[in-house]
Amino acid sequence: MTAPRISVLLPAKNAEGTIELAVRSVLAQTFDDFELIAINDGSTDSTREKIEALNDPRIRVLTTTGLGIPHALNLGLSEARGELIARMDGDDESLPTRFELSVKALDENPSWVGVGTGVEIFRDEQPPSPNFHAYGQWLSSLTTPELLFRDRFIESPLCHPTMLLRAQPLRELGAWRDGDFPEDWELWLRFLEAGQRMSCLPHMLHRWRDSDTRATRKDVRYSLDKHLTLKADYLARLFAKVPLTLWGATDTGRELSKRLTARGCTIVRFIELNPRKLGQTIHGVPVLHPNELPDDGSHILSCVAAKGARDEIRSWMTRRGKEELKDFTCVA
C-alpha cells in the first residue's frame, strides 16, 4: 500500500464534546493524501467511539492508558508512514486549505523543516482574553524564518496544532521530549538551535479553541515559571561566554537574571527608565539609565513585555547603531 504524503497526529483525552468537529475538519481538507492517527490517550468518555463512528478508512485509532502529550505524539510518530507530519488537537478546527497551502509552502521552500499557520483564537462562551488575542496576532505575524528566529525567546513562536513538519529531521532531532517544560516551545528552540528553518503562513487557517480546561491553563509545565526556565536553558548556552545587560528590572528580568546566573552567565547590569529603580543594586549589579549604557561589548536582553515597549526598545537600539541578535535580543 502506498504511503500517504501526510500523517496527522491527533492526541485526545476526554474530548467527546469537540472531537467530532476536529476530526471532520481534517477529513474535509482539500489536500486529501493523508492518514489520521488519533491517539485516544486514556479517555474515560466516548472520545474513541465518536472518532470510530466517522468510519473513514484514513483514520487509525491508538488507545493508551494516558501517556501525556509528548509520549502520545511519539507513539503516533512511530506508527506514521507519511514524509510529512501534521499536528492537530481534539478541540480545534482546521480550515479546508490548511494542508494544501502548508504542503505548497514546504515544497517551495525545501530548506524549511516545518511551517505553521495563522490562527483565530476563540472561546465558546465568551471572547478570548485580550492578552491571548494579542498572542495569537503576534504568532500570526511571524511570517518569515527570519522573524520567527528573531522572536523565538519572547514566547513559543508557533501554534503547535497548526504545524506541518518534515518527518525525517523531526525523528533525527529526537521528536517530542517529556519534561518540566512546554514540549512544543522546547521543540522549536531545539530545531532553531540546530540551524533548522521554520515559518508561519500569512493566512488564518486554524481555529484555536481556548477554554478553562485547556492544558496551557491547567498544566504547570505551561506556567510562566517553566517558560522562564526553558528560556534560560537555551539562552545560557547561547551567551555562556558573553557578558549580559538586562533591559528591564521587572519581575521577568529579575527572575531571568537569577536563572541565567545559576547557569553560569555573567550579568553586568540592569537598564531601567523607572527613576525609582535607578541607582539601585539588584542581585549585586547596578541599575542604570539607557543613556548611561557603556559600549563594553555586553549583549543586551530586552525583558520588558509592556504593550509597545518592545518596539520602543528596538527603535532606541537602532538609532544608536545596535543590530538585533548581534547586539541585543528581545526575550519578553
Q: What stretches of 66-150 adopt beta strand conformation (E)?
A: 84-87, 93-94, 112-122
Q: What is the reported pTM?
A: 0.94
- The predicted model gives 16-45 an average pLDDT of 98
> Mind listing the pLDDT tens digit for each residue in 190-230?
999 999 999 999 999 999 998 766 656 566 777 889 999 99
> Does one domain contain both 197 and 256?
no
Q: Judge whether 1 lies within some domain.
A: no
Phi, psi for 16 (deg, rounded to 5): -60, -25
Alpha-carbon distances, residue 107 vs 100, 113, 165, 168, 247 (angstroms) = 11, 11, 12, 15, 40
Q: Judge whether 153 lies within some domain.
A: yes
> Does one domain contain both 118 and 16?
yes
pLDDT value, residue 282: 93
> Does one domain contain both 215 and 316?
no
CATH of the domain at 306: 3.40.50.720
> Does one domain contain both 118 and 207?
yes
Amino acid at 11: P
C-alpha closest to that of 201 among 154, 164, 231, 241 = 164
> Does one domain contain both 208 and 249?
no
DSSP state of 276: T
pLDDT value, residue 128: 84
> Does one domain contain both 132 and 187?
yes
pLDDT value, residue 216: 61
Q: Judge whether 313 lies within some domain.
A: yes
pLDDT value, residue 4: 98
Portion of the chain with pLDDT greater than 70, in percent? 97
Q: How many domains does the chain have?
A: 2
CATH of the domain at 194: 3.90.550.10
Radius of gyration (C-alpha) of the chain in whole angstroms: 21
> Does one domain contain both 76 and 149?
yes
> Does one domain contain both 299 and 207?
no
pLDDT value, residue 214: 61
pLDDT value, residue 130: 87
C-alpha 237 chain-centroid distance: 19
Kindly state the cell numbers that stand for 304.
520588558
Could you tell me if 300 and 327 are in contact, meaning their C-beta atoms sit under 8 angstroms apart?
A: yes
Portion of the chain with pLDDT greater than 90, in percent? 90
Cα–Cα distance between 118 and 116 in angstroms, integer? 7
Give the three-state DSSP class for 55.
coil
Cα–Cα distance between 129 and 121 in angstroms, integer? 10
Q: What stretches of 16-161 adopt beta strand conformation (E)?
A: 34-41, 59-64, 84-87, 93-94, 112-122
Q: Judge whether 164 lies within some domain.
A: yes
Instruction: From 222, 246, 274, give the residue that closes a domain.
Output: 222
Q: Which domain holds residue 303?
A: 224-330
> Does one domain contain both 36 and 183?
yes
Neighbours of 251 (CB within 10 A): 12
The region, left, alpha or beta by phi > 0 then psi within -120 to 50, assigned to residue 154 is alpha
Could you tell me if 310 and 324 are in contact, meaning their C-beta atoms sit under 8 angstroms apart?
A: no
By DSSP bridging, strand 285-288 and strand 281-282 are antiparallel
By DSSP bridging, strand 244-247 and strand 34-41 are unpaired
pLDDT value, residue 217: 57
Instruction: From 222, 242, 272, give the residue that closes a domain.
Output: 222
Kindly state the cell numbers that stand for 287.
541599575
Is residue 131's pLDDT more than 90?
no
> Mind listing the pLDDT tens digit for each residue in 291-315?
999 999 999 999 998 889 999 999 9
Instruction: From 161, 190, 222, give the residue that closes a domain.
Output: 222
> Does one domain contain both 239 and 314?
yes
> Mind listing the pLDDT tens digit for each residue in 247-297?
999 999 999 999 999 999 999 999 999 999 998 999 999 999 999 999 999
- The predicted model gives 97-120 an average pLDDT of 98
